[in-house]
Amino acid sequence: MSYDPSAFPPFAVTVDLVVLTVRRHSLCALAVRRGEPPFQGRWALPGGFVREDEDLTQAAARELLEETGLRAHDPAVPAEPPQDNGAHLEQLATYGDPGRDPRMRVVSVAHLALAPDLPAPRAGGDAGEARWAPVEELLHPSGPEQDAPLAFDHAGILADGVERARSKIEYSSLATAFCPPEFTVGELRRVYEAVWGVALDPRNFHRKVTGTPGFLVPTGGTTTRQGGRPAQLFRAGGATLLNPPMLRPEV
């Protein structure tokens, strides 16, 4: 059977980023206001078209660097703690509904990026503005700041990314990706509370995380940045899977 290029419509591949961080004890996502059609003026997830000379991971890492200034951790290279500037980056899912982009047939390979408390973002590319927004505001818009749903199918992509983060911190050490290189148990607990949207008992949480093999490693230092008595500092241990898992409370 001969191949006829004219029989196929224009086709493009993009990467979209669900960039999550914890700011002021709230799980926030990076949103950009589109400066060009389609959906000009609407908020959207950051992302862009994949270039000819890059693979999907390279494209996602490039977009992450352009939007946040963060370099992605290379999962093939074990990180030596403490690690300062960087973000956890993993492929989330592929989205290919024929009508998701009015310009042409566009398939998006979405990626999830997690990092500690990040500074105010800068707009880049075709974005007119960028901001951190609580995920609930983006998923359930109301009020003048967010008066329309996210552009394209980005609300669904964001919801999938948030659920991925919520489920993975149950059985993996991914929650430490939201923390600085050295952190307290209280700071880690607030990450779980922000991601899950629940309040946790401090004593039970401390017992669970310090009793889980390979989860946390004491650094030998303390800090008073939370106020009160000095709190012990930890760093992420070598465990990638938690046994027993940190089960999400039923709400």
63 sits in which H/E element: helix 56-68
E strands in the chain: 11-23, 26-34, 43-44, 47-49, 88-95, 105-114, 127-134, 216-223, 231-236
Q: Is the dihedral of CA 131, 67, 18, 39 positive or negative?
A: positive
| Residue 215 DSSP label | T
The pLDDT of residue 87 is 87
Extents of the domains making up the chain: 9-169, 172-236
The pLDDT of residue 128 is 66
Q: Whole-angstrom Cα distance, residue 132 to residue 118? A: 9
Note down pLDDT in tens along the chain; length 251 residues: 677 777 777 789 999 999 999 998 899 999 999 989 999 999 999 999 999 999 999 999 999 888 877 888 755 444 444 344 578 999 999 999 999 999 999 999 999 999 987 777 766 655 568 899 999 999 998 765 556 799 999 999 999 999 999 999 999 999 999 999 999 999 999 999 999 999 999 999 999 999 999 999 999 999 998 778 899 999 999 899 999 999 998 86
Give the number of other CB atoms < 10 A from CB of residue 22: 23
Print burial letters for 222-237: b (CB count within 10 Å at least 16), e (below 16): eeeeeeeeebbbbbbb
> Which residue type does 131 have?
R
The pLDDT of residue 75 is 52
In sequence order, the 6+-apart residues with CB closer than 8 A to the CB of 7 are none
Q: Is the dihedral of CA 210, 214, 215, 216 positive or negative?
A: positive
**Domain topology for 172-236:** Arc Repressor Mutant, subunit A (1.10.10)
Catalytic choice (129, 137, 170, 193): 129
By the 8 A CB rule, do 130 and 67 touch? yes
C-alpha angle with apex 41: 40 to 44, nearest 5 degrees?
85
User: Hey, do 9-169 and 172-236 end up sharing a CATH topology, with the first three levels equal?
Assistant: no
By the 8 A CB rule, do 132 and 115 touch? no
The pLDDT of residue 72 is 86
Active site residue 66: no
Q: According to the CATH classification, is domain 9-169 in 3.40.605.10? A: no
Cα–Cα distance list, 86 to 37, 158, 248 (Å): 32, 21, 27
57 sits in which H/E element: helix 56-68
Q: Whole-angstrom Cα distance, residue 116 to residue 102? A: 35
